[in-house]
Amino acid sequence: MLQTLPALHAPKLLSWYDRHHRELPWRVNPAAAKAGKRADPYHVWLSEVMLQQTTVQAVKPYFAKFLALWPKVTDLAAAPVEDVMAAWAGLGYYARARNLKKCAETVALEHGGVFPDTEEGLRALPGIGDYTSAAIAAIAFNRQSAVMDGNVERVISRLHAIDAPLPGSKPLMKARVAELTPSDRPGDFAQAMMDLGATICTPKRPTCALCPFRDDCLAFAEHDPESFPVKAAKKEKPVRFGAAFVAVTPGGEALLKRRIESGLLGGMTEVPTTAWTSRVDGGTTADHAPFPAGWEACGTVVHVFTHFELRLSVFRALTEKVAVDDGWWEPVTNLEAQALPTVMKKAIAQAISRAFEKHPN
């Protein structure tokens, strides 16, 4: 008979975590925690914001870069927003970077550089929602908070064979996570659930034989773990079209602009483009160029955003400097240091094949 008493689950998982946890740069491992080391709330917050919709491997170099540039939250609060956006470039979901800066400023100015230590206090900060507030409260402050990311959703849905589809089943899943979360070591428990989902209870071909929950898992008992979590049918992403214009001077400077602060890619750097959005196509021909020049077509780049796919026709021109509203001319050798989102790097690379190669000093 399957035993699903919550009281039995936490010790099993924590014992597994003590032996098989991932070593992550923002994490205090179990041995260090037992020796009295505490997680740094700044590190926990920074990593959790970066990890939203992003893989651990992608985040690691950005986490190291941010700590090297801004070792404390007060340093980040004092940094120019342009520098923060440039350091974030390539990590995607750029509203996170804007909220990161706002949150750092709020912590520095309104909380004396100290993060609130409760879910409620954390949730009041810019850019921190239910998941992030629970994760910081549990991991940084050892609060008994129910932490549920995608990995935890997968584990809990399989453990209880929750067959209601996401996202409607989230409240039930979170209630089950809350039942399991112990008062002792809740931060380690939250990280253990994440690690279990990332390394054992994976979306495809889970390693059930090595799982500490295998004797209690209803999906495993039914020989069908990959069917969970159940997800509602995805809508097909719309495709939008536009054009990007890469202008370069004979001296090797490219025309850049800064996008408006609000909306998609707000505050980031771009080459001139047509007025595409997630809902409306932009122009796709050289007739829409920012100024007359010998514009040449050099192909199309495709970039997939969360809710739509964008196809940009790319044009390039060799030109003398022209004044453009909100624009400036940047040496091509310095493009890597600019706050260019991935879609703009793709467009520039399509027009200037070696634009992002490392250049000697």
Q: Which residue has the tokens 């923002």?
A: 26
Q: Tell me the two tokens of residue 21.
A: 């946890």
**Nearest CA-CA partner of 180 in 217, 209, 225, 227:** 217
Q: What angle do CA 207, 210, 215 make, to 5 degrees?
A: 105
**Nearest CA-CA partner of 11 in 189, 156, 157:** 189
Options 48, 105, 119, 270, the catalytic residue = 48
CA–CA dist 93, 87 (Å, integer): 13
CA–CA dist 208, 220 (Å, integer): 7
pLDDT tens for the chain, 361 residues long, are 334 456 568 999 999 999 999 999 999 999 999 999 999 999 999 999 999 988 999 999 999 999 999 999 999 999 999 999 999 998 988 889 999 999 999 999 999 999 999 999 999 999 999 999 999 999 999 999 999 999 999 999 999 999 999 999 999 999 999 999 999 999 999 999 999 999 999 999 999 999 999 999 999 999 889 999 999 888 899 999 999 999 999 999 999 999 988 889 988 999 999 999 999 999 999 999 999 999 999 999 999 998 999 999 999 999 999 998 889 999 999 999 999 999 999 999 999 988 887 655 4
Please name the fold of domain 239-358.
Answer: Nucleoside Triphosphate Pyrophosphohydrolase (3.90.79)
pLDDT per residue as tens digits for the range 1-15: 334 456 568 999 999
Task: List C-alpha distances in Å: 191 to 12, 148, 183, 281.
Answer: 14, 10, 14, 43
Give residue 230's pLDDT: 95
3-state secondary structure the chain: CCCCCHHHHHHHHHHHHHHHCCCCCCCCCHHHHHCCCCCCHHHHHHHHHHHCCCCHHHHHHHHHHHHHHCCCHHHHHHCCHHHHHHHHCCCCCCHHHHHHHHHHHHHHHHCCCCCCCCHHHHHCCCCCCHHHHHHHHHHHHCCCCCCCCHHHHHHHHHHCCCCCCECCCHHHHHHHHHHHCCCCCHHHHHHHHHHHHHHCCCCCCCCHHHCCCCCCCHHHHCCCHHHCCCECCCCCCCEEEEEEEEEECCCCEEEEEECCCCCCCCCCEECCECCCCCCCCCCCCHHHCCCCCCCEEEEEEEEECCCCEEEEEEEEEECCCCCCCCEEEEEHHHHHHCCCCHHHHHHHHHHCCCCCCCCCC
Q: What angle do CA 133, 139, 140 make, to 5 degrees?
A: 85
253-258 and 269-270 strand pairing: antiparallel
Give residue 262's pLDDT: 83
Looking at domain 6-227, which CATH architecture does it have?
Orthogonal Bundle (1.10)
pTM: 0.83
Residue 296 annotated to the active site: no
φ, ψ for residue 94, nearest 5 deg: -70, -15
Give residue 345's pLDDT: 95
Give residue 6's pLDDT: 61
CA 318 from chain center: how many Å? 36
Domain with CATH 3.90.79.10 in the chain: 239-358
Domain with CATH 1.10.340.30 in the chain: 6-227
Q: Report helix, strand or coil for 162.
A: coil
